[in-house]
Amino acid sequence: MNIIVHSESKTFHLQNDYISYIMTILPGGHPAQLYFGKKITDREEYGYLLEGSIRSHSAYPNDDGRGYSLEHLKLEYPEYGSSDFRQAAVEIRHESGSRITDFLYQGYEITNGKPKLEGLPATYTEDDSEAMTLTLHLADEVSGLRLDLLYTIFEAGGILARSAKISNCGTKAVHIERAMSLSVDLPDADYDMIQLSGSWARERIPEARRLSHGIQGVESLRGHSSHQHNPFIALKRPNADEFSGEVIGFSLVYSGNFLAEVQVDNYDVTRVLLGINPTWFDWKLEAGDSFQTPEAVVVFSADGLNKMSQTYHRLYQKRLARGFWRDRARPILINNWEATYFNFNEEKLLNIASKAKECGVELFVLDDGWFGARRSDYAGLGDWYPAASLLPHGISGLSEKIEQMGLKFGLWIEPEMVNPDSDLYREHPDWILHVEGRKPSLSRHQLVLDFSRKEVVDHIHGMIAKILRESRISYIKWDMNRSITECGSAVLSAERQGEVFHRYILGVYDLYERLTSEFPEVLFESCAGGGARFDPGMLYYAPQAWCSDDTDAIERLGIQYGTTFVYPVSSIGSHVSAVPNHQVNRITPLKTRADVAFFGTFGYELDLNKLSEDEQKMVTRYTIFMKQYRELIQFGTFYRLVSPIGNDSCAWMVVSEDGKEAIFAYYRILNKPNNGFARVKLQGLLPDGHYTVWSYQHEDVPPEGILRGSFGGDELMNVGFVVSDLSSGKVGDNVLEAADFTSRIYHLKVE
Ligand code: DGJ
């Protein structure tokens, strides 16, 4: 890893074993992009890559048609208003009403490691040798504004982290209307754009479309990163697949409104912009103040989508997530939500917990409904004290009883919200996000607290910290169950109302920071009506996230499959729930439900007392299985093998760091008569390793599984592993039951 600077040609080459990112400073002072892709040998200058031709109808800021037009160049942080007519990275409104800026190069700085981004989640280094950071200093002479562009190259993978900081060194306030975290201009448009999209209960399903001239992209304007679109896109070459070809991922470390936009111009140059959504964003920057954008993380892979994902997994698992739980296998939990909804009392909860303990579960989580007047979703949010009618001994009493059973105790909260029917709202009706004189829209009968106000965050912090201090709480599920509407704050001036969305999320980060610092050993799981805030910003504070409110195993295949495009298995909250499934009414075998939920943090979301004795035995087996393999599953290298999207089957696997051990999972979605003889090629094994393979096919197998035989690593990766249902059918053979929704888990280990 290195940052090479050629002073004469003003060329900067950020390079590691995987990538080269090369820029230069144009004669007029604008930073321009020269190359981003697979590592190349360094040279003094790359002037031949700069297009200087004169075209009609273009504008030339530096000369009478003889200089360069910004429109024809690949730029680092483009501005609209002079000679580039494409979408801009930055837009600033001056007191005069003008929006012209001209940020020109002033100098640079190189530091080892990576600077912190104050108040914002971001990737980090533990040792300065892990990364290097280049800061380009630019300035707009007329306004006195300064712009720092930060580029961090990591040693371990094709990773570049970027952000921008605008400082007002002038004498007049300005308004930042757009400040993207990155802009990247690529020299052609031969890409498919991949996005992770969906809706509530069907989040993060991968979709691809061929780039075409004009603008395409995804965004959120809902106040959270959203169920609808994840703050991520990838550009892949049309022939790239999971294991070959060029892919570039763009991921934003942010949990609020975002925009990921790709513009293809009429010379087939592709511009990617990623950052805070400029819609409804207007940040007043007083003289002397600075604004730091969130971070965007770009990953280049020359070896297809899996490699891109694995690079994100490693980075987000080890250098974005933090704290006590970062490297620890996650406790197997039981959550009472789908078991009871709002209909519980202490006795019922203890009953659920006690059966769970018998089956080997480690953590009991009390979900929504334990506080204030919260007997349904019409009341109580905001009143964070236990409801005496349900919990006569409070949360402290219940948590002690749960601990006495030998389980840890976890609690659900939704700190950003308030029901109009709550003491908090009656006392502080102006504490909600709202616009004076307009009726605030309700969603799930609740309103959003104005987390842009410190006193509101302080108050909620006081209540939540009290419960955490007084009770034996090992885990918090932090929910957020509505999008933001009528986004205004009672205390900000008119010209600062465009700051509320961003200030809100900064308030959320502030509360997370305070709670995670004071209670470092509490495991936080983020949640937003399922997966509306499954984003890198949240992972900085909470190393796992509830993936979706859809707990059906078959639906979950697609959701979890898509989630792994960016997010590690250790972050994916996944539970076994009851059948018929509460979201889609589907009936799937218990084994399939477990086989899907294993590929995440694993837990149960049902009352195990309601299962038959045989099923309870199976649950115990699954729990034993997960305890044995969770380290490998959650922290191994994950490979997507067969996509469930539009297919009748799905397969994935994880491999240990040394390649000697793996878990392979195969799921049949719909059975077909007279099926072909199918195999799946495995990945990541040692070619000359000799693997013994066990399966966990039947409910009555011993915990160590059924021996399937032994195979060479090269054989498994090149010939493939037979997963078909057409073999002889004798017990112990490689046969999947001829039915829909079946699955098989295999354990592979080098002898
Ligand atoms: C939405 C979450 O995703 C569910 O798991 C559950 O916690 C409910 N909220 C409770 O209101």
Q: How far apart are CA 101 and CA 285, in angstroms?
A: 15
Atom of ligand 1 nearest to the CA of 546: 3
Does residue 414 have its Cβ closer than 6 Å to ligand 1?
no
- Same domain? For 124 and 77 the reply is yes
Q: How far apart are CA 108 and CA 29, in angstroms?
A: 13
Compute, in angstroms, the gap from residue 566 CA to the centroid of ligand 1.
Answer: 23
Q: What is the pLDDT of residue 730?
A: 46
In angstroms, the Cα distances linking 15 to 20, 225, 748 are: 5, 31, 37
Which among 303, 479, 595, 607 is annotated as catalytic?
Answer: 479
Compute, in angstroms, the gap from residue 117 CA to the centroid of ligand 1.
Answer: 31
Compute, in angstroms, the gap from residue 325 CA to the centroid of ligand 1.
Answer: 22
- Same domain? For 202 and 351 the reply is no
What is the bridge-based pairing of β-strands 721-722 and 679-680?
antiparallel
Secondary structure (H, E, C), 292-303: ECCEEEEEEECE
Q: Is 714 a catalytic residue?
A: no
- Same domain? For 44 and 150 the reply is yes
- Same domain? For 40 and 90 the reply is yes
Does residue 412 have its Cβ closer than 6 Å to ligand 1?
yes
Q: Cis omega (within 30 of 0) on the bond before 580?
A: yes
Domain count along the chain: 3
- Same domain? For 289 and 348 the reply is no
Does residue 370 have its Cβ closer than 6 Å to ligand 1?
no
Q: What is the pLDDT of residue 63?
A: 65
In a domain, 558, yes or no: yes
- Same domain? For 371 and 292 the reply is no
Instruction: State the CATH number of the domain containing residue 655.
Output: 2.60.40.1180
Eight-state DSSP code of residue 130: G
Does residue 381 have its Cβ closer than 6 Å to ligand 1?
no
Does residue 629 have its Cβ closer than 6 Å to ligand 1?
no
End-of-domain residue from the set 318, 346, 375: 318
Nearest 5°: phi and psi at 319? -130, 20
Compute, in angstroms, the gap from residue 413 CA to the centroid of ligand 1.
Answer: 10
Instruction: State the CATH number of the domain containing residue 68.
Output: 2.70.98.60
Instruction: State the CATH number of the domain containing residue 579.
Output: 3.20.20.70
End-of-domain residue from the set 318, 348, 379: 318
For residue 659, how many C-alpha atoms fall within 13 Å in the half-sphere facing its CB?
Answer: 14
Does residue 367 have its Cβ closer than 6 Å to ligand 1?
yes
Which among 549, 550, 552, 607 is annotated as catalytic?
Answer: 549
- Same domain? For 650 and 623 the reply is no
Does residue 481 have its Cβ closer than 6 Å to ligand 1?
yes
Compute, in angstroms, the gap from residue 546 CA to the centroid of ligand 1.
Answer: 9
Q: What is the pLDDT of residue 729?
A: 45
Atom of ligand 1 nearest to the CA of 477: 7
In angstroms, the Cα distances linking 529 to 107, 191, 480 are: 46, 33, 6
- Same domain? For 341 and 298 the reply is no
Q: Is 479 a catalytic residue?
A: yes
Ligand 1, atom 1, lies closest to the CA of: 529
Q: How high is the mean pLDDT in each 10-residue block of the chain (751 residues)? A: 97 98 95 98 94 84 74 96 96 98 98 97 98 98 98 98 98 98 98 98 98 98 98 98 98 98 97 98 98 98 98 98 98 98 98 98 98 98 97 98 98 98 98 97 98 98 98 98 98 98 98 98 98 98 98 98 98 98 97 97 98 95 94 98 96 98 96 86 98 77 76 97 64 67 94 86
In angstroms, the Cα distances linking 156 to 17, 38, 123, 536 are: 8, 14, 13, 18
End-of-domain residue from the set 318, 349, 374: 318
Does residue 550 have its Cβ closer than 6 Å to ligand 1?
no
Q: At what angle do helices 394-404 and 346-358 cross, to 10 degrees?
A: 20
Compute, in angstroms, the gap from residue 317 CA to the centroid of ligand 1.
Answer: 25
In angstroms, the Cα distances linking 551 to 136, 330, 555, 602 are: 47, 19, 7, 12
What is the bridge-based pairing of β-strands 11-15 and 19-25?
antiparallel
Ligand 1, atom 9, lies closest to the CA of: 529
Contacts of 246 (CB under 8 A, 6+ apart): 37, 38, 236, 237, 240, 300, 301, 302
Q: What is the pLDDT of residue 288?
A: 98
In a domain, 430, yes or no: no
Distance of CA 460 to the CA centre of its chain: 25
Q: What is the pLDDT of residue 737?
A: 75
- Same domain? For 7 and 107 the reply is yes
Compute, in angstroms, the gap from residue 539 CA to the centroid of ligand 1.
Answer: 18
Does residue 194 have its Cβ closer than 6 Å to ligand 1?
no
Q: Pick from 446, 549, 606 the residue to mutate for probing ligand 1's pocket: most ligand atoms within 8 Å of its CB.
A: 549
In angstroms, the Cα distances linking 633 to 386, 550, 597, 648, 655 are: 37, 22, 11, 24, 8
Does residue 446 have its Cβ closer than 6 Å to ligand 1?
no
Residue 495: helix, strand or coil by DSSP? helix
In contact, 159 and 202? CB cutoff 8 Å: no
Beta bridge partners of 247: 236, 301
Domain that holds residue 30: 2-318
Contacts of 186 (CB under 8 A, 6+ apart): 36, 74, 235, 248, 269, 270, 271, 272
